Amino acid sequence: MFYRTSLQAAAALASISLLAGCGLFGDEDSGDGEKIIVGTTSEPTTLDPAAAWDGSWELFRNVYQTLLSFPTGSSAPQPDAAEDCRFTDASNKVFQCKLRQGLTFSNGDTLDAAAVKHSIDRIRTIDVEGGPNGLLGSLDRVETSGQDTITFRLKAADATFPFILATPAMSLVPPSEYPADKLREDGKLTGSGPYVLSEYKKGEKAELVKNAKYQGFANMQNDGVSIRYFQESDVLVEALKKKEIDAIYRGLTSNRVVEIQEKREGTEHLQLVETVGADIRYLVFNSKDPMAGKLAVRRAIAQLVNRDTLVASVYQGTAEPLYSMVPKGISGHTTEFFDRFGEPDVKKAKEILEEEGITEPVPLTFWYTTDRYGSATKAEFEELKRQLDASGLFEITIEGRPEKDFQKGYKAGDYPVFGRGWFPDFPDPDNFIAPFVGENNVLSTPYENAEITEQLLPQSRRESDRGAVTKQFERAQEILVDDVRLLPLWQGKLYVAASEEIGGGERALDPQTVMQMWELYRKASW
């Protein structure tokens, strides 16, 4: 997602393939009453959804409601606070939702059409820099009819709009507690989701209790969840080993995943759920740089990078090689970079450079963020340097900066080549193409391609059947490979680690890779 990448980590997901490590698929009866304690390194940056386009969504999904959402097993948005939503015109420019009857927020306020309009309008009015207003570019205005009908009028056809409404960015809030023109600043939270936030201590914990007023799709399997926030993966895993927490989501390093998979000492009582993730890592080339701006240089790098070795040596199989910006599991995924460049080949890379008159080793600096994607990022860039230097065609220097300073650098155009990650806003190929092209793209490195922005994307957004837009996105990926302005490297796998007493982990991840805490339960017996 646009800002999620800065702060963390298209038909819909064809499926979410879950591989059980040690049996989170248990058929035991669920028990509720005791809280489930979940550890994570993904702490919210804000409690106000009007300011969040980041990992705060992990909390929001569980305490707020959206008009549409992704129930377990779904691959397209389904009604949540809404009873029904649909485009009412053939051009996909008018989207209308009718609310469930009798909805209230946890404070007792009515959740009606006016509250929905307030929730969406304040995102646009407040317009936090890097905030979720970036998702609403196609929205013209919000209208209400009576107490239960909301109509979204769009500036242009946008069949992805239902997916946008299903993101936690579009969480619904009561007007009485969330000002129309500024963020809520009392450190509290009021929603209509499955849980109520009963206590929050920044950097420490969030206590969630079942919301007695909730009406929605969630089938509650527990009475409450305690989320504990950790800074270090090692400390997090040790807490799970000692049974101080029951489960982990976000924060497992590849070493720790392997440790649990192999049942090493201290992990015998732990289990693991694995799913193919939609988060990706890639390199960005600055076209204004004297060397990275040369197409032959970019293509030579694409010809040399060995993704299999990178994944095996750095991530120990906890990631997969990626050959397009649209990852596996998303409709429209291709292997275009492999199809075009094949296996890594020094001879071919040398020929690419020599055809452009480049006969000396190319000096380039690769930049990475030191504190956003985990400690393995440095090792990843060291491996990229090793591979390119070993060819004799490049002389690579690597530099790292903390995320805050790193962002300033790439936004100022200071870096010839830099690495980024992308966590999707919604499971549609549009969200893996559109953010990276255009003059004002998420990377602050203008990449204008009229065929993509003026033809392919508008064509695809006129099509409600997202399975019917494969050709447009396949063509877009061909263009990306022609230009090599972006070089996909790998896509991640997602893991939930838990003690043997916890069930439901295989159902807890939605297509946005956000944990649905209500699916977890403590097994009644073994």
84-130: pLDDT as tens digits = 999 999 999 999 999 999 999 999 999 999 999 999 999 999 999 87
Of residues 470 and 16, the one with the higher pLDDT is: 470
CB-based contact 323:480 (threshold 8 Å): no
Question: What pLDDT is attached to residue 302?
Answer: 98
Sign of CA dihedral 511, 41, 249, 310: positive
pLDDT interval class at 452 (50, 70, 90): very high
Question: What pLDDT is attached to residue 111?
Answer: 98
Question: What pLDDT is attached to residue 526?
Answer: 41
- Please give the mean pLDDT across all residues of the chain: 90
Average pLDDT over residues 81-86: 97
Helix, coil or strand: residue 429: coil
Backbone angles phi, psi at 168, to 5 degrees: -60, -15
The residues, ordered by sequence, that sit 6+ positions from 386 with a Cβ below 8 Å of its Cβ are: none
Q: How far is CA 164 from the centre of its chain?
A: 13
Is the pLDDT at 33 greater than 60, yes or no? Answer: no
CB-based contact 486:441 (threshold 8 Å): no
Question: What pLDDT is attached to residue 371?
Answer: 82
User: Cα–Cα distances in Å, from 258 out to 201, 272, 501, 525?
Assistant: 32, 10, 21, 28
Question: What six digits make up the tokens of 315?
Answer: 């991530």
pLDDT interval class at 424 (50, 70, 90): confident
Model pLDDT for residues 210-247, shown as the tens digit of each residue: 999 999 999 999 999 999 999 888 899 999 999 999 99
| CA–CA separation, 448 and 148 (whole Å) | 42
Q: Angle of helix 470-483 relative to helix 295-304, nearest 10 degrees?
A: 110
Question: What pLDDT is attached to residue 391?
Answer: 98
For 403, the enclosing helix (H) or strand (E) is helix 403-411
Is the pLDDT at 6 greater than 80, yes or no? Answer: no
User: Left, alpha or beta for 411 (phi > 0: left; psi -120 to 50: alpha)?
Assistant: alpha
Model pLDDT for residues 143-199, shown as the tens digit of each residue: 999 999 999 999 999 999 999 999 999 999 999 999 999 999 999 999 999 999 999
pTM for the structure as a whole: 0.83
Backbone angles phi, psi at 61, to 5 degrees: -55, -30
Question: What pLDDT is attached to residue 76?
Answer: 86
